[in-house]
Amino acid sequence: MLVGLLVSVAVTALSRTGVLAGWETRAVDAFLFLRDRVAAPEITLVLIDDDAFQALGQRQPLSRRYVADLADFLLKSGARVVAFDLVLTAPTTPAEDQALLATVGRWSAARPGSLLFATFAMPAGGQDGADGYTLLPPFAPELAGLVGFANAPIGADGMVRRFTPVLPRAGGGWLPALSLTTLAASTGLPPSELAHRLSGKGAAIPLPLREPSGALAGPTDTPVRQLAAGARDAHLVLVDNPSFHQLGDMGLADGLITRALPWRIDFSGPAGAFTTFPSEPLVQLARAGTVPDHDNPFRDRIVLVGASFAESRDHFPTPTGLMAGVEIHAHMVNTLLSRRTLLPPPWYLNVGLLTLVCLTISLLSLWLRPLWLALVGLILVGGLAAASYEAYTRGGYWLDFLAPLIGMLVYLQGGHMLRRRRLRSAFGQYVSPEIMDRVQRIGTRLGGEVRRVTVLMSDLRGFTTMSERLPPEVVSEMMNEYFTAMVDVILAHRGLVQDFIGDAIMAVYGAPLDDPEHCWHAAHTAVAMHAALEGLNRRWEAESRGPLAMGIAVHTGEAFAGTLGAPRKKKYAVLGDTVNTTSRIEGLNRDLGTGILISGAVLAALKDRVVVRDRGSVTVKGRRQPVEIYELMNLTEA
């Protein structure tokens, strides 16, 4: 028992002196990697991706008019603040620069601080920053007050883990990071007022706060000393990297923090953890004069915009994987929003926990056999690992111990893999692997919701006659071939195979994940299913098994989508009037001698993308209002 106590004290002492800092850093990295994605609905990303870069002619610096159009559209959409992780230090063409300045001037007058940009913090004296830092001025004085530094603190191993919200200003006061400037502006605090408070004349900065429950509290005064803790001891060295000099409009400057900083980025997940949109469609909407709907994904959001195309070289390794610079800034904003810093617990708590484990194992060794002792030890270690994980995820505390790390990894990773396996086993057989991956990555409401979907129903004709003529084993083989071909087509077009009803198939589009093109995907599926059946018929006829005919109906509308069933048997299903109407429409194929029928609602969504023949209005069973139906002849798009 004495040995156990000594070991506990020794391990704690080594941790306090920093000897185990590298291992502890990697342990926290493991926590971040294993932690489930934490929702941050207040933050949205817009990425200038490879498609946008291609549309811009693959030229750098990026078009200032493009930036202006994108900023104007996002702010018109109701974004609280739009922050560009782009460093605009050099002028381009007068027309391009003036377009951006006009947009900045208009929005700065209407909503001061709603449009922000990145810059670099440069050492005022030597390379060590002992005399403080200055901000690299943008190309126009109108932008000077609308910037925050974007220097990335890169660790000795090349990984981004920490950040500092402020750096000491040459001559006194503090310089704000882009993350701090962005979060402060989201409360309506103008950059000029933020600069005033950081100059030493204000004791606190009002910042929004996300409570542990996830609710967003109003602006809470955050002491400047809390934001500046450790900043004066930070040694920021700018690295002579070609990307720093050549890519003047890129966001994260290369840098190295050689001393530990108290603000560790609380990554809420791997790349893709935030709601993300590509920039090119938004700019096209802006240039087409589209007025954003009131209910749009940018309203009341903190929007960060940055480059993610390959040539930007603005990607950095993080504990959760390679990540674009703008997304790292989003995690910095999220860390400030939740005020989570890595806090060491009292030293006596560490000693007490480790001593408890050692003493328990020592006492149990007097009565238990080695195998049982090892089992109990693993349970204790797993419990401590779970406690450490909870302390970190709930309160941002790090419990100094290394031995339980392996047990913690097995516990968390095993549970995570089990949850994914259960979800894939229960749901993966109905959708394509790509849709299944998206469900597991971004989540969806499988419990139940009313959403707009498109339903496809198909039914074979001539199946009964064929069943009477052919042996059962041949019929079974043919149906397996038929269902395999049809399911492959449905899954290839983002459909969900809900059910097989005899020789009929029911597929759903737009559930469980949103799909703005669900009508198009369903119509495309219908045409592709007929093409697949033609291929099967040619082979069956060559084998003297005879052809089959098929009728398909496609209808769109609102339906309930969710998990239904009894406690011992459940399934994901879609039901409602939309499903019933689709079934009734499909039955009309036999009477009309048609192959594919679509409703008027589907045609209204597809418009001139399809070629149809009007089949009039019919009153289907269960509905008072007649339904317009059309025979789908062909698609005008591939």
Going across the sheet that includes 43-48, the strands are 147-149, 115-119, 81-87, 302-307, 43-48, 275-278
Q: What does the pLDDT read at residue 508?
A: 93
- Co-location of 147 and 221 in the same domain: yes
Query: Is residue 313 located within the same domain as residue 359?
Result: no
The answer to whether residues 616 and 520 belong to one domain is: yes
pLDDT in tens, 508-540: 998 888 889 999 999 999 999 999 999 999 999
Question: Which residues lie below 8 Å from residue 110, measured CB to CB, with a gap of 6+?
Answer: none
Are 316 and 179 members of one domain?
yes
Clarify whether residues 382 and 497 are in a common domain.
no
Distances (CA, A) of 263 to 104, 159, 304, 362, 395: 31, 15, 20, 39, 14
Looking at residue 394, its pLDDT comes to 63
508 and 361 share one domain: no
- Residue whose entry in the numeric block shows the structure tokens 């009341």: 300
Residue 272 lies inside a defined structural domain of this protein: yes
Among 338, 357, 375, give the residue marking a domain's end: 338
At residue 630, φ and ψ (nearest 5 deg) are: -135, 145
Residue 617 lies in a domain: yes
| Residue 34 within a domain | no
Bridge partners of 527, per DSSP, are: none
Is residue 602 located within the same domain as residue 546?
Answer: yes
Say yes or no: 289 and 168 in one domain: yes
Distances in Å between the Cα of 517 and the Cα atoms of 290, 453, 510, 514 are 19, 10, 8, 9
Number of C-beta neighbours around residue 387 at 10 A: 15
The domain boundary residue, chosen from 404, 424, 444: 424
What pLDDT does residue 359 have?
66
Is residue 360 packed enough to be buried (19+ CB in 10 Å), middle (13-18) or exposed (0-12)? Answer: middle
- Count: domains in the chain: 3
3-state SS track over 88-120: CCCCCCHHHHHHHHHHHHHHHHHCCCCEEEEEC
Q: Are residues 186 and 247 in the same domain?
A: yes
What's the whole-model pTM score? 0.55
Residue in the structure block whose two tokens are 């959708």 = 431
Structural domain includes residue 22: no
* Cβ 276 vs Cβ 43: under 8 Å: no
Instruction: Count CB atoms within 10 A of the CB of residue 12.
Output: 22
Q: How far, in Å, are 22, 381, 408 from residue 386 at the CA level?
A: 21, 9, 6
Give residues with Cβ within 8 angstroms of 424, minimum separation 6.
436, 440
Last residue of a domain, one of 424, 443, 467: 424
Q: What is the CATH number of the domain that holds 497?
A: 3.30.70.1230
Q: Are residues 263 and 117 in the same domain?
A: yes
The residue ranges of the chain whose pLDDT is under 70 are 1-39, 126-129, 152, 201-202, 212-214, 229-262, 341-366, 368-378, 381-382, 384-447, 638
Q: Residue 592 domain-assigned? A: yes
Torsion angles phi and psi, residue 59, rounded to 5: -110, 145
- Whether residues 375 and 458 share a domain: the answer is no
Is residue 319 in some structural domain?
A: yes
Does residue 30 lie in a domain region? no
Q: Which residues constitute the domain of residue 356?
A: 2-17+343-424
275: its two tokens? 């709601």
Place of tokens 């191993």: 157
**Are residues 147 and 182 both part of a single domain?**
yes
Give the residue carrying structure tokens 């950059």: 191
Buried b vs exposed e over 246-278: b needs ≥16 C-beta within 10 Å?
ebbbbbbbbbbbeebbebbbbbbbbbebbbbbb
Q: Residue 635 class from Cβ within 10 Å (0-12 exposed, 13-18 middle, 19+ buried)?
A: middle
pLDDT at position 486: 94
Within a domain: 36: no
Residues 417-476: tens digit of each pLDDT: 655 665 565 555 555 565 566 555 555 555 678 889 999 999 998 887 888 888 888 888
